[in-house]
Structure formats: C-alpha cells, structure tokens
Chain A
Amino acid sequence: MAELVAVIASTHHPFYYRASTAPPEERPPFADAWVAKIAAFRETLTRANPDVLVMVGSDHFHQLWLDNMPQFLVGKAPFYDANFYNEEREFGLPRMLLRGQEDLSAHVLREGLDAGFDLAFSNELRIDHSVTCPIITLRPKADLPIVPIYTNIFAPPLPRPKRFVDLGRTIRQLVESWPSDKRVAVIGTGHLSLELGGPRQFGPHGPDPEFDRKAVEWIASGDIEGCLSEVTLDSLWEPGNATHGFMDFMLMMGVAGEGAKADYVDTLDLFHTMEAYFTWYPNGVTA
C-alpha cells in the first residue's frame, strides 16, 4: 500500500509569489523574513521525499459557480492547468501546468463514495491559487503529480466543521489503502482569521489575533475535540468574514489524526493576516 509520508497544512497567501520574486527595490520590507520561513517550511516536504501530492484547497469562484456548486470535489484528470486571469491581474501569479495522478483520483472517488462522501468530480479542472500557492512555496519545481480536492468554504450553505474533519480522516484512510508503492504527501491550505471585502480587511494584523493564537494551538497539538467544541459555522463569522477557510485546516487536522502533535510549526504575523505552517510525519522521517 501507499505510504503517507507527510501531512502539511498551510495558509495560502497569494502575495507571496510577487513578494518573493520582485526585484530588490520593489520588495516589501517583510519579504526576506517571509522567504526565509518558506525555505525552512519547504524543506519539511523535501525531507519526506514524496512521489505524489494530494492537494486540498478551495476554488475562489473561478471554475466552480453558484449554478452548480459542489461541496467536495475531486479532480480526476491527467493534467491540470492552473491560475486564472484575475489571479494573474491581482497577484501576478504565473500560469502553470501540473500533472495529475489519475489512478489515485479514481481510488479516492470510488472508495470515498463508498465511505459515505458523495464526492463530485471533474475531468477538466483548472486549479487556482489555493493549490498553486503551496506548490509555489513547497514544491516550486511543480514536478510531482497531484490529486486536487476542493472544498466549499466560500458559498453558503457550507458543510459543518465536523464534516471537514471527517473527510480528512477518510482521505488518510484512502491514501493508506491505495494499492501502490508511492510515497504520498497530503497538503491542504486554508486561512486563520481573515476578512476580505469587509470593514476589518487589510488591518495592521489579522482581524482576530486571539482566534489565531487558539487556532495555532489547536492545530499544533492536534486538539480536534477542543477545536470542534468551539468552532461552528456561525462562530467562524466572528474572527473575520473569510475565516471559514479555517475548515480546511480542520480537514488537515483530520488527516493528521486526533492528538497528533505537529512535527513542525511556524507562523508569521503579516499586515492583514497571520501565516501559519504545519508539518506532520505520520511515520517519522529520516534525518
């Protein structure tokens, strides 16, 4: 069976690409510290030596739209074009092309359906910055095949937080039951407290530092029960109107497992959001 060699949860900040590639005179003052943190975070994936990446993210109204909105969707395609015109326009993100691991997609869909998740699928999926940001930060060569899994954290009605955790647990089981000798990393991205298009946006730090502190502690310590006891669809409006993206972190806590302490934890307080980076090695990692 396949081996789950790393579980990685991260924020996906679309400004990173431009901040890290701009010429020195145009780089923001925080760029160097950010690049250093990303380099260290990248090493946590490199050390796991993965063959395949399962990428959990959320389409930001790019290909998925309100006339036919899936709650959870698995890409099953040999290739995925990536990034959209408006991400190029606003963030300077490059167009990309990623290979797909289609047999793992088929396994996730078949076994996921049988496990009780009515997963939607797409045979022609263009992926957006929720997936390409972690490719850029963690695997900039973009040389590994992927299985994209999209969640709806964006267009109410949303699945409840526990459903995200349960899907994470199931994704882990599906990866570990995949009849393959491949080494698989599961990488998911979301947000801590975040406000976009509301009165608390683009402040000097994230809109709710206290939520961020608790969220980092829940994730780092694998405290799924504690997190679920406080986080609801209603409560997530309070830290910021885009904070439902935190449910993708909860999904990744489900992949990592109850009580699983992260092997690597780092954060970076930026001007309007806190960046957070976590890595677990379910079976350890060679030094």
Chain B
Amino acid sequence: MSKYLIDKFLFTVDRDPDLVERYREDPRGTVDWWETERANSILGCHSGEASTWLRFEDTEREALASHDYVRLFELGAHPFLTLTLFIAMFERDYDEPLAFQKEYGMRLQHFSLPYPDIAT
C-alpha cells in the first residue's frame, strides 16, 4: 500500500495548472511520467533532493491511469484531494452546477461506514 504516494500524485498534479490539463488529456502517460520523474522528489527540500523507494502498486497505478475515482476512494486516497482534482478536470464537461459532484457521490453509493481508511 502506498496511499501516501497516491495522495502525493493527486496533491502535486492538482496544484499545477499544466499538470491538471496533462492528466485530463493523457492520464496513463502522465502517471507513468510522474512515477518516473516526480514520485521521489522530496517536496520540502528546495534543492532537488530525492528519495529512492517510492513506487505505486499495480492497482494504484491503474486506478490513477484510468481516472477511476471510485477505486481511488476504495484504496484510501484522501477524498478531499481526489475530489478537488477531479472537479478541476471534469466539472467543465457538465452543464448544470454541481452535476459532476452529484454524479461522483452517486457512483460511491455502494460504500457504507466505515469508509476505507485514509490514514497514511
């Protein structure tokens, strides 16, 4: 389990306008690039220091590469991060205000308490 890395992907993509668009248009390519080039960057170090051990598990990589926010919820990705990024990518495709957010909730209806653990 690398919930932390899923969250790190969602966090770093959501906060970069170019990456938001890139992930919307080419999810699999963006995930592969990010895992190779960015996954190990230590965000709190300004001089490019990096870790050596971070990688996605196959199910995690696939959930991100297929824009599968239901699976991300199941895997324990932080729901605020997932929601925020997916609103940024897909709200624009819906005509009614909050239509995407409501559909998002509906697609999660089969989950009941307790929800998947989000602790990292």
Contacts and interface: CB of A to CB of B under 8 A. Distances in A.
A264 interface: no
B48 interface: no
A241 B8 contact: no
Interface of A is mostly: loop
A66 B87 contact: no
A65 B8 CA distance: 9
Interface string B39-61: 00011100000000000000000
Contacts of B111: 198-199
A89 B115 CA distance: 28
A154 interface: yes
A197 interface: yes
Nearest to B42: A67
Contacts of A199: 105-106, 108-111
Interface string B90-107: 000000011001101110
Contact of B108 (A156, A198, A237, A242): A198
B7 A84 contact: no
Contact of B80 (A28, A68, A156, A196): A196
A276 to B, nearest CB: 21
Contacts of B105: 195, 198-203
A283 interface: no
Interface string A60-74: 111001111000000
Interface of B is mostly: helix
Chain B interface: which size bin?
Answer: 35 or more
B80 A86 contact: no
A210 interface: no
B113 A201 contact: no
28 contacts: A61-B80, A65-B43, A66-B7, A66-B120, A85-B15, A85-B17, A86-B14, A89-B88, A90-B87, A90-B88, A156-B118, A156-B120, A197-B73, A197-B81, A197-B82, A197-B104, A198-B73, A198-B79, A199-B105, A199-B110, A200-B105, A201-B83, A201-B101, A201-B104, A201-B105, A237-B114, A238-B113, A242-B80
Interface of B: 4, 7-8, 11, 14-15, 17, 42-44, 73, 78-84, 87-88, 97-98, 101-102, 104-106, 108-111, 113-115, 118-120
Given A67-B44, A85-B17, A86-B84, 11 more contacts: A61-B80, A65-B44, A68-B44, A85-B15, A86-B88, A197-B79, A197-B80, A198-B73, A199-B110, A202-B101, A202-B102
